[in-house]
C-alpha cells in the first residue's frame, strides 16, 4: 500500500532497517523481520548509503519484502553521488517493480578530497524528479533541532516546509524530548504545512550510546543522561538498558498523546528493544 494512504487511515507503526552486507548480517535481519512481523507494522523502511552496490542491496531487500507480501516497504534514495539519469533510472526501476513508496534524501556529503558528482544538491529536487517519474508516495527527512548544515533553525524550518509541501509526509531524526516534535509540527503549521510528520524513535540502551547519539546528530539531554548513569550505578548495563527502554516508552506515550500520526522505530536491524517498547505501549510482544 501507499504510505500516504496508510497515514490517512490512522496511526501507523513503522520500522527502519539497513541492507545487510554479509551472510551474518542477512541472518540477523531475517530473524528481526520474523520477530517484528507479528506486530503488523504499517510499513518498513530500507536505508541506502549511495553507490551502485548499495543501491542494488536496497532494491533487493525492498523487492523481497514486497514480493513476500506480508509487509509494505519504502526505499530510500539520496542525491549525493548520482547523476539525474541514474536517479531517474532507479526511480523507473522502482515504479516498474511496484515499489510505490520512496524516501527522498539529500544524503551526506563525503569528507576529504574524494569529491563525487551529484547533479542534485537538495532533497526537494529529488522529490520533484520522483513526481516526474512515477506515482510515488514520497517521504522526506525532518530534523527537530535543525539540519546540521542549516544556518539557523528558522531557515531550516523554511526549507523543510517547502520540501514537505511537495512531498506526502516526513520522518524525523530521532530525538528525546516531546517538545522537540511538538515545536517542529507547530512551526510547520505556522508556515501552512500540516502534512504528517512521523516521529523517529531510537532508545539509548548503553552509556556509550550517549556519545554516539551526539555524533549522529541528536544529543541526549542532560536529564536523560543522568537517568542512565544512575541506572548504571544501581544495576549495571542491564539497568541502563531497562531505563533506556522506559525513557523511550515514556517519550512515545507523550507524543502519541500530543497527536503524533504514528511512530517510526530505528531498529539497527535488531528487534528486541523495539518489541519491548511496543509491548509497553500496546501490550504486544511480537513473539
Catalytic positions are 16
Residues 6+ apart with CB under 8 A from 44: 14, 15, 16, 17, 33, 65, 71, 72, 73, 74
Whether 201 contacts 266, CB under 8 Å: yes
How far, in Å, CA of 172 to CA of 264, rounded?
8
- Reading phi first (left if > 0) and then psi (alpha if -120 to 50, else beta), residue 20 is in beta
How far, in Å, CA of 170 to CA of 54, rounded?
23
3-class DSSP state of 174: strand
Residues 6+ apart with CB under 8 A from 254: 178
Helices 272-282 and 222-257 meet at what angle, rounded to 10? 50
∠ CA 47-51-55 to the nearest 5 degrees?
Answer: 45
How far, in Å, CA of 213 to CA of 50, rounded?
22
Which cell is 4 given?
500516504
First to last CA, the chain: 25
Tracing cell 517521504 back to the chain, one arrives at 139
How far, in Å, CA of 89 to CA of 234, rounded?
55
Amino acid at each position: 500500500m501507499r504510505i500516504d494512504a496508510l497515514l490517512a487511515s490512522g496511526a501507523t507503526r513503522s520500522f527502519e532497517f539497513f541492507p545487510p552486507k554479509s551472510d551474518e548480517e542477512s541472518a540477523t535481519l531475517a530473524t528481526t523481520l520474523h520477530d517484528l512481523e507479528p506486530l503488523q507494522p504499517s510499513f518498513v523502511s530500507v536505508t541506502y548509503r549511495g553507490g551502485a552496490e548499495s543501491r542494488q542491496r536496497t532494491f533487493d531487500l525492498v523487492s523481497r519484502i514486497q514480493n513476500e507480501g506480508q509487509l509494505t516497504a519504502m526505499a530510500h534514495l539520496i542525491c549525493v553521488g548520482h547523476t539525474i539519469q541514474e536517479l531517474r533510472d532507479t526511480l523507473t526501476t522502482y515504479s516498474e517493480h511496484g515499489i510505490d513508496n520512496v524516501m527522498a534524501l539529500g544524503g551526506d556529503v563525503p569528507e576529504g578530497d574524494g569529491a563525487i558528482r551529484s547533479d542534485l544538491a537538495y532533497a526537494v529536487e529529488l522529490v520533484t524528479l520522483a513526481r516526474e517519474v512515477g506515482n510515488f508516495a514520497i517521504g522526506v527527512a525532518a530534523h527537530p533541532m535543525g539540519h546540521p548544515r542549516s544556518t539557523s533553525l528558522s531557515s531550516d524550518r523554511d526549507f523543510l516546509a517547502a520540501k514537505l509541501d511537495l512531498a506526502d509526509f516526513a520522518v524525523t531524526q530521532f530525538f528525546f524530548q516531546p517538545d522537540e516534535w511538538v515545536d517542529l509540527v507547530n512551526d510547520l503549521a505556522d508556515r501552512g504545512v500540516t502534512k504528517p510528520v512521523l516521529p523517529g524513535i531510537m532508545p539509548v540502551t548503553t552509556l556509550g550510546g550517549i556519545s554516539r547519539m551526539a555524533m549522529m546528530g541528536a544529543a541526549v539531554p542532560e536529564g536523560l543522561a543522568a537517568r542512565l548513569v544512575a541506572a548504571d550505578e544501581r544495576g549495571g548495563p542491564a539497568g541502563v538498558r531497562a531505563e533506556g527502554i522506559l525513557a523511550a516508552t515514556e517519550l512515545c506515550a507523550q507524543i502519541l498523546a500530543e497527536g503524533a500520526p504514528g511512530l517510526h522505530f530505528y531498529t539497527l536491524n535488531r528487534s528486541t528493544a523495539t518489541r519491548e517498547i511496543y509491548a509497553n505501549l500496546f501490550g504486544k510482544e511480537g513473539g
